[in-house]
């Protein structure tokens, strides 16, 4: 039996990032340019980029637009979610799904041994994997039914 998929296996390795001091306007522009709904907020470290927060399009809407705040004065660190939930590279897909469910998040940065950013796993990524596995199960059941019909005729 094959080893289960890990967060490192399924994460997107190209992640759009922001720095805490970046303006929210520049961050929103990055989201638009890269067609993403979130940015991983990082601080530079000697061994890589450390994730310190997440900024989502929803954060911008609820914290700025809905509050009628002056977007020109706000930085990413003013709006980002700093209660960051991360997965380790070696965490299994079921463990990552459980983490997302418990913490109520749809996206988790994937980190390496020193906490450095390696990638990003989204609920959409995991849904795609689970759907593929379900299709494989359906195909196995269907094949077994065909085999049985051939043996019985």
pTM over 0.95: no
Among the listed residues 106, 111, 117, 133, the one whose alpha carbon sits nearest the alpha carbon of residue 41: 117
Question: How many structural domains comprise the chain?
Answer: 1
Host domain of residue 87: 7-122
- Could you tell me the pLDDT band of residue 1, with boundaries at 50, 70 and 90? very low
What's the half-sphere exposure (Cβ side, CA atoms, 13 Å) at 126? 22
Residue 87: give its domain's CATH number. 3.10.580.10
Residues 69-117: tens digit of each pLDDT: 788 889 999 999 989 999 999 999 999 999 999 999 999 999 999 999 9
Among the listed residues 82, 81, 100, 84, the one whose alpha carbon sits nearest the alpha carbon of residue 7: 100
- Long-range Cβ contacts of 143-149 (<8 Å, 24+ apart): none
Q: Does the residue 2 lie in any domain? A: no
Tokens 């967060």 locate to 7
User: Residue 21 in contact with residue 74, Cβ under 8 Å?
Assistant: no
Q: Does the residue 40 lie in any domain? A: yes
Q: Does the residue 132 lie in any domain? A: no
> Any idea what the Cα angle at residue 94 is, between residues 90 and 96, rounded to 5°?
60
């Amino acid at each position: 039996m094959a080893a289960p998929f890990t967060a490192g296996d399924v994460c997107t390795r190209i992640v759009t990032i922001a720095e805490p001091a970046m303006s929210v306007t520049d961050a929103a522009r990055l989201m638009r340019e890269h067609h993403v709904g979130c940015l991983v907020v990082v601080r530079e470290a000697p061994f890589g980029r450390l994730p310190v927060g997440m900024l989502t399009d929803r954060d911008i809407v609820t914290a700025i637009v809905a509050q009628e705040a002056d977007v020109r004065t706000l930085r990413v660190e003013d709006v980002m979610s700093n209660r960051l939930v991360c997965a380790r590279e070696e965490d299994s897909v079921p463990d990552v799904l459980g983490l997302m469910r418990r913490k109520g998040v749809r996206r988790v940065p994937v980190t390496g041994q020193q906490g450095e950013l390696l990638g990003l796993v989204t609920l959409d990524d995991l849904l795609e994997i689970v759907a593929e596995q379900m299709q494989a199960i359906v195909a196995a059941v269907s094949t077994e039914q065909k085999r049985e019909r051939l043996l019985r005729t």
